[in-house]
Structure 1
Amino acid sequence: MTTLRRFLGEFSSMPATVGWYLADLGEFKGRQEMFTRRAPQKLQALRQHALVESTVSSNRIEGVKIDQSRINTVVFGSPHLRDRDEEEVRGYRQALSWIHDDGDSIPITEKTVLNLHRLVRGDIWDAGAYKDKDGEIVQRYPDGRSRVRFRPVSARNTPDQMGKLVSLYDDAARSRAIPPAILLAAWNLDFLCIHPFRDGNGRVSRLLLLLQLYHWGFDVGCYISLERIIEENKERYYETLEESSRGWHEDRHDPWPYIQFLLFVLKTAYKEYEQRLSDVGNGRGNKTELILQAIAKANQSFSISEIRDRCPEVSLEMIRRILKRLRDDKRIESTGRGRNARWRKTGNW
């Protein structure tokens, strides 16, 4: 029995913190249009920034990385792609563009799920196809040890389970028996527990979450990268997923840790959305503001490369220029020289 089937049968006692999240999200959603009207000329810049961050972060969570200097070219240009990683990064960007452009008209169907997988996996033999062999989700440790974290649905049962999951989503959406934000998170958990593909499940799950958010009027993922927030909280992401998937096959699992995590991601995105639009409305430069926010979120000690990871479309030269200005203003100081140089926050952040 999946989480959705259980909720449709009896949706009751949810943790009090979930209720608080839902109340906060309701307020954010209510103010969404007001903030969008405040600075419509800046929304395209936010959207483009989120497109880069989401593409890079969602792939990086799964170990798919490309050269920092190639990010803008791969995401926005039409270059000759050098390797599989660049192909998958480009494919994720194409999937994001499809959702951002046509999200309201893209249904939650198996065809949509397979099409998203085909995009993110690129030119590989099983792109857009369910797994044909059973597998395990294995956690590997630096010392060479490993353990089985979860055994997904078998390959033989995957098509049937995915068909039922899509049908359950339709039933839940029509009945409105489950609050939309919880519905999306519960469906996302069930999808990851089925684990329908040999590879690419995490990336497809994040794209489907974005698509479903569009369907329910939560537009924040267009302007703030949900994938980047998940990457910044990656340990919590994997911990709550493991906690909530334990006992899933026997219907003895506790879905709330993972559901609360995704609600936290959504609330964090809305808070950042309002902050960025407020800052833009005060006349601050968009790229400068992105750098300042990245520094504010960084540890007390940080490197230029860490800031660049958070602002992938901002040039290295501009980051250095802002750091120099902040150093002159006594807000940061350099603690080294050369490639290993680090910076330390000294002023009020």
Structure 2
Amino acid sequence: MTHPEPIKFEAFSAGQWVQQYQYKSFAPTPINREWLWQDPIINTLLEKASRALAELDAFTLIVPDVDLFIQMHITKEANTSSRIEGTQTQMDEAVMEAAQLAPEKRDDWTEVRNYVQAINDAIAELETLPLSNRLLKHTHEILMQGVRGEHKTPGEFRISQNWIGGSGLNDAAFVPPHQDLVLDLMSDLEQFWHNENINVPQLIRIALSHYQFETIHPFLDGNGRIGRLLITLYLVDKGLLRKPSLYLSDFFERNRNSYYDALTRVRESNDLIHWVKFFLSAVIETASKGQQTFQAILALRQEMDALIFGYGQRADNARILLKRLYSRPSISANDTAALLGVSHQAASALLKKLTEDQVLDEVTGYQRNRVFFFRRYLALFTD
């Protein structure tokens, strides 16, 4: 079997424009090959990113009940990644139940909760199956269930032409490859993830893979969200993260114009170096912020444990309630009663005590159907 020649970032040609019937589509260069670069800044960023990622991963070993807190990382990612695509849900709404929201907010909320389920299912699947196009399709199917994208062939690669920006093919900002190329390009991408005959660091592989995925745009809808989720799935699959604790959507949203610009620069001027530097910088900053969040979680948790120690007979129930709030920091009195197996009156009394101690905030102002937030904990994921 012959291997394609190694390709230098500096000499990369991103692809070519292909004339279709009444428009041109972009056919990207396949990426399953060895990659080289001369720019020393990439080596420095790669070293920093690898170290930051390893330090973040170490936290997931020392934080007790880490999976509770990972759920909040996942909720934040689902919310932020969906917001890049235009949903309006806020973090405090994302952790509520559908019934507690105004009806006009429920469609956006459903998209966010679908994304949470899609991430959780994909991570569970990775325990038995390697990362694959099949897994991405299954994740896409969950993401698109019962929402605005349900008519956009959930769980299937596209068999028609799509476009990005503009109202149609004639005024689009970018036209991805013709549908006839999608299967071959996605097959090349999948082989690249698992090709052991090439020496390419994992963080470089996923930087290239995210660019390539977004350029192929293999689904009719949801490509941005699946492509950003691909980054986390890849890092978990390759053992760089034991838990899905790193999500780049927050960085991409805060630097949205730079993110789109960096992807566009590859396609328009073959500038892969700029994209890789942008991507590695995103990993460095996000992993460092993730470490700070875990440190803040540990400090808050110690403070809560000390407080609840003084709750006497109610301490056990307060611990159970807090454990639930670490994974989803909003709750009603009815849910509290059901969780603890106590009367509504007892549940309300515990919530009142936690509110007086400034652990919880009641936000609705209603007499009935009140919702309580663990506001200080939620703030760790919104600041």
Q: Does 1:217 align with 2:242?
A: no
Counterpart-to-counterpart distance in 2, 1:197 and 1:8: 24
| Matches for 1:122-201 after TM superposition, within 5 Å | 122-123=145-146, 124-125=150-151, 126-138=153-165, 148-171=172-195, 174-201=196-223
Relative to structure 1, the CA distance from residue 154 to residue 28 in structure 2 (aligned partners, 3 Å threshold; closer, same or farther) is: same
Q: Does 1:271 align with 2:296?
A: no
Counterpart-to-counterpart distance in 2, 1:255 and 1:187: 12
**Percent identity (aligned):** 20
Counterpart-to-counterpart distance in 2, 1:132 and 1:19: 40
Q: Does 1:54 align with 2:77?
A: yes
Give the letter for the 1:262 counterpart: F
Give the Å deviation of 1:86.
3.3
Q: Does 1:262 align with 2:287?
A: no
Give the letter for the 2:257 counterpart: E
Aligned 8 A contact 1:75 1:90 in 2: no
- Between structure 1 and structure 2, the one with the greater Rg is 2
Aligned 8 A contact 2:233 2:244 in 1: no
Q: Deviations over 1:164-194 (max 9, x none)?
A: 22223332xx124111000011011111111
| Matches for 1:228-307 after TM superposition, within 5 Å | 228-246=250-268, 253-281=270-298, 283-284=299-300
Relative to structure 1, the CA distance from residue 61 to residue 34 in structure 2 (aligned partners, 3 Å threshold; closer, same or farther) is: closer
Relative to structure 1, the CA distance from residue 7 to residue 162 in structure 2 (aligned partners, 3 Å threshold; closer, same or farther) is: closer
Counterpart-to-counterpart distance in 1, 2:97 and 2:112: 7
Counterpart-to-counterpart distance in 2, 1:76 and 1:40: 32
Aligned 8 A contact 2:49 2:281 in 1: no
Aligned 8 A contact 2:53 2:284 in 1: no
**Superposition TM-score, scaled by structure 1 size:** 0.68
Which residue number corresponds to residue 95 of structure 1?
A: 118
Give the Å deviation of 1:270.
1.6
Counterpart among 138, 141, 144 of residue 118 in structure 1: 141
Counterpart-to-counterpart distance in 2, 1:260 and 1:127: 33
Aligned 8 A contact 1:114 1:128 in 2: yes
Aligned 8 A contact 1:46 1:224 in 2: no
Aligned 8 A contact 2:133 2:186 in 1: yes
Aligned 8 A contact 2:80 2:250 in 1: yes
Q: Deviations over 1:27-56 (max 9, x none)?
A: 234434543344334x34431221211111
Q: Does 1:8 align with 2:21?
A: no
Aligned 8 A contact 1:220 1:270 in 2: no
Counterpart-to-counterpart distance in 2, 1:110 and 1:56: 24
Give the letter for the 2:123 counterpart: H
Aligned 8 A contact 1:150 1:245 in 2: no
Aligned 8 A contact 1:220 1:273 in 2: no
Counterpart-to-counterpart distance in 2, 1:58 and 1:314: 21
Which residue number corresponds to residue 109 of structure 1?
A: 132
Q: Deviations over 1:127-175 (max 9, x none)?
A: 11222321322258xxxxx95332210112212222222223332xx12
Give the Å deviation of 1:69.
5.7
Give the letter for the 1:31 counterpart: E
Counterpart-to-counterpart distance in 1, 2:272 and 2:140: 25
Aligned 8 A contact 1:240 1:261 in 2: yes
**Superposition TM-score, scaled by structure 2 size:** 0.63
Aligned length: 279
Which residue number corresponds to residue 31 of structure 1?
A: 55
Counterpart-to-counterpart distance in 2, 1:265 and 1:168: 22
Aligned 8 A contact 1:4 1:187 in 2: no
Aligned 8 A contact 2:248 2:286 in 1: yes
Counterpart among 96, 99, 107 of residue 73 in structure 1: 96
Counterpart-to-counterpart distance in 2, 1:207 and 1:111: 15
Aligned 8 A contact 1:57 1:231 in 2: yes
Give the Å deviation of 1:82.
7.2
Greater shift, 217-226 or 267-276, is seen at 217-226
Relative to structure 1, the CA distance from residue 200 to residue 75 in structure 2 (aligned partners, 3 Å threshold; closer, same or farther) is: farther
Give the Å deviation of 1:232.
1.9
Give the letter for the 2:264 counterpart: E
Relative to structure 1, the CA distance from residue 194 to residue 287 in structure 2 (aligned partners, 3 Å threshold; closer, same or farther) is: farther
Question: What stretches of structure 1 of length at least 5 have no aligned partner?
Answer: 141-145, 248-252, 289-311, 323-349
Give the letter for the 1:194 counterpart: I
Which residue number corresponds to residue 296 of structure 1?
A: none
Aligned 8 A contact 2:96 2:330 in 1: no
Give the Å deviation of 1:76.
12
Which residue number corresponds to residue 329 of structure 1?
A: none
Stretches of 4+ aligned residues off by more than 6 angstroms: 1-4
Aligned 8 A contact 1:149 1:242 in 2: no
Relative to structure 1, the CA distance from residue 67 to residue 267 in structure 2 (aligned partners, 3 Å threshold; closer, same or farther) is: closer
Aligned 8 A contact 1:95 1:119 in 2: yes
Which residue number corresponds to residue 299 of structure 1?
A: none
Relative to structure 1, the CA distance from residue 286 to residue 150 in structure 2 (aligned partners, 3 Å threshold; closer, same or farther) is: farther
